[in-house]
Structure 1
Amino acid sequence: MSVPFFENYGWIPEVVSVNPDFADCVKDPLLLKSIPKDIPVHIVKALPKNLTSKFGLGSIALRSLYYYRKKVNQLLKDKHFDLIYFSTTQFPILILGAYWRKKYGVPYVIDMQDPWHSEYYQAKPKNERPPKYWFSYRLNKFLEPIAMNSVSGLISVSQSYLDTLVLRYPHLISIPKKVITFGFFKADFDLIKENSDLFNITHHQEQGTYNFTYIGRGGIDMVDSLKLLFTAFKKGLTENADIFNKIRFNFIGTSYASKGKGIQSIMPIADEIGISRYVHEQTDRIAFYKSIDRLLKSDHLLIIGSNDAQYTASKIFPYILANKPLLALFNPKSSAGQIIKNCNAGTVFSLESEQNTLIKQIYEYLFSAVTGQLKKLETDWLIFEAYSAENLTKSQVKLFNQIIAK
């Protein structure tokens, strides 16, 4: 989303990316259409997963590390670059920044879109930890200092991510740092309109039902939000069955696992509370533009937030641009919840509110949504404009300029 605007502010980008044929992620051919054709995109290979998985290594970052090193070495030898910018959650790649800075003297910036090395799951029982947690925890703990010891600047979607890193690596206090969230990119919605033939499949919906749609990951850190939502819904089934029977909850793309291998994290909560017939969970992720299409075709949008104060949801901008009624549950310290409130784009419930009061409020919200009594909030598009991709690119560039001026 930033790439089309860098040149407006004096920076000419070149992109290095792994060949999507080597990745597990859902392929989305429309993504490249949003990048100006004159911007060079260098594609690197990766080791085949069917080979490395025999040794328990499936990560695209580890499989492509050697090829990134080789390609960028070539680029840095052939021409001058002022800065290397890492914008990825495939964290092992980031250690190459320290190598390139030492070898070629090029400063690098890391965009922390998620926590890298995290202690969040350390206190959790083994059955609540992600797959291969033992290995990933130790790998992250080893690799993160390599990248952070030489980094020239940090961008993050959350202030708490930066605070954690400064606490862990005190020298970072003196480098340029800035909280810059993902922006919204109106062109994404234009691309969907221009390619409507790719999205002409009608989504199945029971007649007379109201669909609440959430697109994004699940996980143990979202159990608190889910239990509140489902408990409020069950209260509705008990007290107003004729109304609440019309509600359906759809959770899409809840696992990072490859297609068909995801483990459900939403349905066990629905089963526990006894409302599973009203809940659908699809663990397989869907393409970015297909996800926007699903938001546009839903009656009502839902964002399930983490109980982790550091969590922020990059998905909130497509949700807001879809301009549908929006219900969100967040830790009160989450920046995502604050953005929705600031723009008056949806109703945000705080996970730290008194539980019975919160259940009652969610119950009333669901009741109003189905009975037509819910007042649609008018988004403040003037405030929202501050989060445009172009405006946020300007903030990125300001930090880049600080670094190369040193």
Structure 2
Amino acid sequence: MQRRVLIISPNFPPMNAADHQRIRMSLPYFNEFRWEPVVLCINPNFVEGVVDPNLDLTVPLNIEIIKCNAIPQQISRKFLIGNLALRAMPYLMRAVSKYLEKNTIDLIYFSTTIFPVMVLGRYWLKRYNIPYVLDFQDPWLNDYYDRTNSPPPGGKVKYQISQSLAKTLEPFALKKASHIISVSPEYSKILMQRYAWLDQEKFTILPFGAPEKDFEILPRLNINHKIFDPNDGYKHWVYVGRGGDDMAFSIKSLFMAIQAHRHQVPEAWQNIKIHFVGTKYSIFDNKKEIESIAKFYELDDLVTEYPQRIPYFEALKVLTDSHGILIIGSDDQGYSASKIYPCILAHKPILAILHEQSLVVNVLQNCKAGQIVKFNRTESSTESINELDLVIAKIEWLLSQSQNYTSHTDWQAFQSYTAREMTRQQCAIFNRCISS
């Protein structure tokens, strides 16, 4: 029997956001596991972000998509409100109510980092008796920045307001959820410590799936990017993803090792360029903190930072055009980076600097997909990477890789991380929620 799931993913394609990655990867496979998906999102005209129209090509044509409006940001910002959830909440409520007047839904699935919309699960459960599942891709109520005295993305005022809301809204949304999916075991651990009425049976740890189909269509799109010219005679190393103070330790460790090696073997660095792409959350933030760190280590001639996000398929093209990929990890051991899979699928040499508890370490080790430097630093510890020589050795390995590099990834092991496998596990959760 085919069941129907309503997926709440406000900034679904064509917006370039990891926020909808799990859903976009899963859509081609839901029917195989006897679930028919319906996606509720917000009209892209009301969402701030980088648009990539090519993302529409990855969505199966038979998927039903409901688009609703929101309060225009030009109006809301006059009242100092930019939050998409607050701007869209009444429109989302109205769209679902209108849809359910004529259609049947068995389950509602919130897959988004726009957390306040999750409270609508309680509303729809009470009004329509439809169970709901929450997907925690990041922490909602998050004390990381308070514990570490790090400046939060968007500034302290915005952070304090969002966290004040979360203290009320998070337990309200969680209380009646049928199940909670989390990309990291740390998130479920924190939530169970915070709310005594939650137990392990409520949680499933489920990483994102790998975007194999995106790499299948990438050559047909004839994508160009402006980050570098892969044929200019230089070897280009790239990091594509966010920055932040929680990644400063990894970045400084990398730069310190490069500086030491460069002093020893300066000729090895004459044709190396390192690019950090899409390091900022906000489209209004153009600060280049990573370039400033590079300058401190006398590497400003090697390192270039591009703060603004670029369209998704351009980012994939940057990876496939590169001669080496860097994966920079957070000192927050719960951080689980979805960008690991595109890095592996790019078939390039990978050097990763990661917290030893990060799930990304397991992926790279299981698939034999790259070189890893692990650290165990926490906010209350001064421990760091044991030996600078270890980082230097991994950098020497990356320097030694030719432009004709052949990946040694164990692709059979990689199958357990594919989008199809992750969708199978999602649907198994849905089945249990319906049965109970």
- What TM-score, normalized by structure 2, do the two folds share? 0.88
Deviation at 1:245, TM superposition (A): 3.4
CA change 1:373–1:323 in 2 (3 A) is closer
Structure 2 counterpart of 1:204? 229
Structure 2 counterpart of 1:240? 265
Partner residue of 1:25 out of 38, 49, 52: 49
Structure 2 counterpart of 1:359? 388
Q: Distance in 1 between matches of 2:271 and 2:395?
A: 10
- Which has the larger displacement, 263-272 or 289-298? 263-272
Structure 2 counterpart of 1:379? 409
CA change 1:212–1:314 in 2 (3 A) is same
Q: Secondary structure at the match of 2:145?
A: coil
**Is residue 200 of structure 2 the alignment partner of residue 170 of structure 1?**
no
**Is residue 433 of structure 2 the alignment partner of residue 403 of structure 1?**
yes
Deviation at 1:362, TM superposition (A): 1.9
Deviation at 1:246, TM superposition (A): 2.8
Calculate percent identity across the aligned residue pairs: 34
- 1:140 maps to a residue whose letter is A
Structure 1 segment 36-115 matched on structure 2, within 5 A: 36-115=60-139
Tell me, yes or no, if the aligned pair for 1:148 and 1:169 is still in contact at 8 Å: no
Deviation at 1:392, TM superposition (A): 0.9
CA change 1:396–1:254 in 2 (3 A) is same
Deviation at 1:222, TM superposition (A): 0.3
Tell me, yes or no, if the aligned pair for 1:121 and 1:129 is still in contact at 8 Å: no
**Is residue 185 of structure 2 the alignment partner of residue 155 of structure 1?**
no
After superposition, the C-alpha distances for 1:103-129 in whole angstroms (9 at most, x for unaligned) are 111111111111111110113437566
Q: Secondary structure at the match of 1:255?
A: coil
Deviation at 1:351, TM superposition (A): 1.6
Deviation at 1:262, TM superposition (A): 3.4
Partner residue of 2:247 out of 222, 226, 229: 222
After superposition, the C-alpha distances for 1:25-46 in whole angstroms (9 at most, x for unaligned) are 1111121211211111001111
Structure 1 segment 334-373 matched on structure 2, within 5 A: 334-352=358-376, 355=384, 357-372=386-401
Q: Secondary structure at the match of 1:286?
A: coil
Structure 1 segment 314-325 matched on structure 2, within 5 A: 314-325=338-349
Tell me, yes or no, if the aligned pair for 1:244 and 1:367 is still in contact at 8 Å: no
After superposition, the C-alpha distances for 1:196-220 in whole angstroms (9 at most, x for unaligned) are 2x43768336844221101110001
Q: Secondary structure at the match of 2:29?
A: helix
- 2:359 maps to a residue whose letter is S
Deviation at 1:371, TM superposition (A): 3.8
- What TM-score, normalized by structure 1, do the two folds share? 0.94
CA change 1:82–1:356 in 2 (3 A) is closer
Structure 2 counterpart of 1:116? 140
Structure 1 segment 243-322 matched on structure 2, within 5 A: 243-258=268-283, 260-322=284-346
- Which has the larger displacement, 311-320 or 266-275? 266-275
After superposition, the C-alpha distances for 1:243-278 in whole angstroms (9 at most, x for unaligned) are 1233222111111111x5333331232233232221
Q: Distance in 2 between matches of 1:287 and 1:129?
A: 21
Q: Distance in 2 between matches of 1:95 and 1:191?
A: 37
Deviation at 1:145, TM superposition (A): 1.4
Q: Secondary structure at the match of 1:121?
A: helix
After superposition, the C-alpha distances for 1:286-328 in whole angstroms (9 at most, x for unaligned) are 1111111110000000110000110010111111011100011
Deviation at 1:172, TM superposition (A): 2.4
Q: Distance in 1 between matches of 2:323 and 2:306?
A: 18
Tell me, yes or no, if the aligned pair for 1:182 and 1:314 is still in contact at 8 Å: yes
Q: Distance in 2 between matches of 1:253 and 1:6?
A: 31
- 1:269 maps to a residue whose letter is I
Structure 1, unaligned stretches of length 5 or more? none
CA change 1:358–1:18 in 2 (3 A) is farther
**Is residue 413 of structure 2 the alignment partner of residue 392 of structure 1?**
no
- Which has the larger displacement, 350-359 or 271-280? 350-359
RMSD: 2.1
Q: Distance in 2 between matches of 1:239 and 1:169?
A: 54
Structure 1 counterpart of 2:15? none
Q: Distance in 1 between matches of 2:186 and 2:88?
A: 30
Tell me, yes or no, if the aligned pair for 2:227 and 2:318 is still in contact at 8 Å: no
- 1:93 maps to a residue whose letter is V
Tell me, yes or no, if the aligned pair for 1:301 and 1:324 is still in contact at 8 Å: yes
- Which has the larger displacement, 296-305 or 343-352? 343-352
- Which has the larger displacement, 137-146 or 216-225? 137-146
CA change 1:169–1:357 in 2 (3 A) is closer
Deviation at 1:130, TM superposition (A): 4.5
Tell me, yes or no, if the aligned pair for 2:348 and 2:407 is still in contact at 8 Å: no
